[in-house]
Amino acid sequence: MAINITMPALSPTMEEGTLAKWLVKEGDTVKSGDIIAEIETDKATMEVEAVDEGKIAKILIAEGTEGVKVNAVIAVLAEEGEDVSDVKAPAAAPSVSRPEPAATSPAPQGRKETAPAAPPNPPSRSGGGGPAPKGDGTEGASAVMERPSGARILASPLAKRIAANKGIDLKAIKGSGPHGRIIRRDVESAKPGAQVASADVAPASPDGLILPQILDDRVYAPDTYELKPLDGMRKTVAKRLTQSFMQVPHFPLNVDITLDNLLTSRAAINNAAREGVKVSVNDLLIKAAALALIDEPDCNASFTDKGIAYHKHANISVAVAVEGGLITPVIFKAEQKGLAEISEEMKDLAARARERKLKPQEYMGGTFSISNLGMFGIKSFASIINPPEGMILSVGAGEKRAVVDEKGNVVVRTVMSVTLTCDHRVIGGAEGAKWLNAFKRYVETPEAMLL
């Protein structure tokens, strides 16, 4: 019996991915554990292993295909003794994630009829059940939209969403699908037009909160700019940070910290360190942040609908800029690790992050984030919280400033400005201030990190 190979969920939050490359072809024999494909998620490129033995009978999703839904069938495996030529591709099933109004018959005035959700595919031996691949963009039931004159526009839900995002009026498009239905390729081949202002297309994102972001060609002529499609990482960053900024009540706290003692200690540590170990200022800040979280456990917390989750360890997410966005690899249990271990681990994570080779468990599970733009000369800034973490620290550049010392004398010191952004549902101003005081103490007296 043929076995369906489905798009795997490579992380708990993955909804779709890009089938970057097939490492096998139709007719190849594979066994359990063989690498058969590479999948690109929003954060990394990962290898997919076969979980059954047999021959690749059919490859249903071509390499390079974007937006492949989790659990969609991407290939079919013939078992031992089964004739590959007899294996048939599974029938495509409609998506069940977003029911749309039915297109089979017009609804009476004042009523809306919706198509019942199709049952999910039965689970295959290579993964959980789910929607089959969608090749032509006709996913789901057809959406029925009423023109002002009462005439209907038949369009797939995906075509309707693409049209809204590109600012295309569906009334001007001739559909090539069944019964003249407008499908994905019709919208993608159309040129962006004026922003749709009619009632045909609701200007809303899938979550119903964010308006489509489009350029009106009455203001920006299409030939005056180059449109580069969003990759998976950019889409995810945009979606999650927008949701965070809209849904999480942010407030910032900032403080200036003197770095002279820390810089002196860093030089001494590196002089005494074994060959190949070089501790950075950022490594010291990671350690200081972790210890401050242990000192102020009320700040090492996440908001949930059921209550506040207080974390037992300080897992520090560190923002790393990569092509097309950023990623936050995590130093787990940083409060228990020495500076050399943090340094070596951070170098490895950052290098693999830039190559998009991190595993999901290496960039998920943080309890606190650090974003450092000091190397770019940024004096101060405030970051957006990375849910479900309760705080994020924004680190500016260390610079020489004139300050007044304890004796009232004006002296030159190396000073760094930091901003702590807090989730007010979890952390109050007093708690955030206590954490900043603890962090400042560790940075200004780095020997305290050794106690």
Is 441:427 a contact under the CB 8 Å cutoff? no
Q: Which value, to the nearest 10 degrees, does the dihedral of the CA atoms of residues 284, 289, 293, 299 take?
A: 180
Maximum alpha-carbon separation in the chain? 89
Which helix (H) or strand (E) covers residue 142, if one does? none
Residues 6+ apart with CB under 8 A from 11: 41, 43, 360, 364
SS3 188: helix
Helices 281-295 & 339-354 angle (0-180, nearest 10) = 110
Would you give the distance in Å from CA 421 to the centre of its chain?
20
Rg (CA), the chain: 27
3-class DSSP assignment, residue 235: helix
Under 8 Å between Cβ of 9 and 37: no
- Tokens 């007296």 locate to 445
Per residue in 336-365, is it b (16+ CB within 10 Å) or e — as a string? Answer: ebebbebbbbbeebbebbeebebebebbbe
Task: Identify the bridge partners of residue 182 per DSSP, sorted by sequence position.
Answer: 155
Tokens of 114: 């919706």
Give the DSSP per-residue string, 207-251: TSSS------TTTS-GGGS--PPP-HHHHHHHHHHHHHHHHS-EE
Comparing CA positions, the residue from 424, 418, 430, 324 lying closest to residue 373 is: 418
In the chain the first and final C-alpha atoms are separated, in Å, by: 64
For the annotated catalytic residues, the residue numbers are 424
Q: Tokens 């400005």 label which residue?
A: 417
The answer for residues whose C-beta is within 8 angstroms of residue 301's C-beta and 6 or more apart is 308, 309, 310, 311, 367, 390, 426, 427
Nearest to 237 by CA among 321, 303, 355, 348: 321
Residue 224 DSSP one-character state = G
